[in-house]
Amino acid sequence: MNALVNLLGRSVYAGPALAGFGALFFIGLVITVAGFDPIAALSALLSQSLGSVNGISEVLVRTIPLTLTGLGITVAFRARMFNVGGDGQIIFGAIAFVGCGLLFPTLTGWLLLPLAVIAGILGGAVWGGIAGILRARYNASEIIVTIMLTYVAFQGLAWAIRGPLQESSGIFPRSEAIPEAIKLGLLLDGSRLHWGLFIALGATVAVTLALRYTSFGYRLDAIGESPLAARYGGIGDRATVILSLAVSGGLAGLAGAVEIAGVHGRLHDAFAEGTGITAIAVALLARLNPIFVPLSAAMFAVLSVGVGGLQRQLGIPFPLVHIIEGIVILAFLVATRLQRDAVEG
């Protein structure tokens, strides 16, 4: 135990390594208890996700919305705002993106695409910003509000694709296909991997710079650490609280827009489900450092893609993947804490 504490205190890599091994151990335990062979499960998981070009490209496809939404969660978390409503903001971003695309189909691509993407960002920003306003103005818990707004968003989507945005044939609950001009091109023929990957990486750089080098980033950190000190410093106003959740929602909205533009091509009932919740884990695993968010997102993408293999090859039921995700998050949280204690003596 002491040797372990020593190691944790000395090497920054010891914590994540410990978490990795701990997570593997407990995942193996759960799979064994569930009556499956853990080694076969692990190999199925890895071969499905990382064993082929197609698998890897699927992992990257999944990484894109997780990265964008994870960045959003990170921004809010810096101000100690807990945005649990990523899914609702993704949906509103997607609706705004598609709505904008279908509204101006005659515009040329180089104009329509940025316009629609901005609409998507604004859609998410409005949905997050509402929670921000309620929090700043009435001190309503942003956790509750963002959860509730997600339910509203789900219903809003269901209505939109059966009402104003439904395809003209009126058969399926889905929208018309978006104009070709606002679809994101594929990076790899025969796969689903699209240019959104670079949007996600660009957003990572932008958020990293914004948090580290701008007064906005400083305001978030100040409010997050001490609302009173921020207020006395003249930077603790409501605008910052609202803005933190609006920017957070905007990034999730961007994820929704990119997901539609790159993968689905139109609105339908179920897309990117659960992304907003997994993105919380992504942000925590990245320790609220935006530069680590893509890496953290890729890890969860491996899990989520690999689980398809578990199901297909071994018949392991799907809910187990949620348990596995939970174990990964807990392992990293515990390891982070142990490491901090070791460093602080």
Partner 1 sequence: MAPASVTAPKPASRPVLELNGITKRFGALAANDDITLALGRGEVLGLLGENGAGKSTLMNILAGLILPDAGEILIEGRLARIAAPRDAVSLGIGMVHQHFMIVPTLSVAENIALGNRTLRPLPLDLSGVRAKIRQITDDLGLPLDPDAATARLTVGEQQRVEIVKALSRDARILILDEPTAVLTRDEASGLFDAVKALAQTGVSVILISHKLEDIFAVCDRVAVLRRGRKVHETSTKDTDADGLVLAMVGESITAPAARRNSPPGKLLLELDGVALRRGDGSTAVDGVSFDLHAGEILAVAGIEGNGQRELAEAIAGLQPPEAGRIVYDGKVHTRGTRTMELRRRGLRLVPEDRHAAGMLVDKSLRENQLLSHLHARRYNRAGWLKRRSAARDAQTVIADFDVRATSSNAVMRSLSGGNQQKMVLGRELADGLRLLIAAHPTRGLDVRTIAFIQRQLLDLRDRGIAILLISSDLGEIWQFADRILVFGGGRAHGPIGVTETTPSEIGAWMAGHA
Residue numbers of the site for partner 1 (CB under 8 A)?
1-2, 213-216, 218-219, 221-222, 225-226, 228-235, 237, 345
Nearer to partner 1, 243 or 257 (CB): 243
Nearer to partner 1, 2 or 106 (CB): 2
Place of tokens 């139109």: 266
**How far is it, in rounded angstroms, from Cα 73 to Cα 69?**
6
CB of 212 to partner 1, least distance (A): 9
Closest CA to 294 of 105, 83, 59: 59
Nearer to partner 1, 225 or 273 (CB): 225
CB of 324 to partner 1, least distance (A): 31
CB of 229 to partner 1, least distance (A): 6
CB of 231 to partner 1, least distance (A): 6
The enclosing H or E element of 274 equals none
CB of 82 to partner 1, least distance (A): 19
CB of 104 to partner 1, least distance (A): 31
Nearer to partner 1, 120 or 217 (CB): 217
DSSP secondary structure string, 279-339? HHHHHHHTTT-GGGHHHHHHHHHHHHHHHHHIIIII---THHHHHHHHHHHHHHHHHHHHH
The letter for the amino acid at 342 is: A
CA angle 157, 161, 164 (to 5 degrees): 105
User: In whole angstroms, how far apart are CA 200 and each of 140, 289, 294?
Assistant: 31, 15, 8
Nearer to partner 1, 225 or 269 (CB): 225
**How far is it, in rounded angstroms, from Cα 256 to Cα 263?**
10
**How far is it, in rounded angstroms, from Cα 245 to Cα 77?**
9
Nearer to partner 1, 49 or 74 (CB): 74
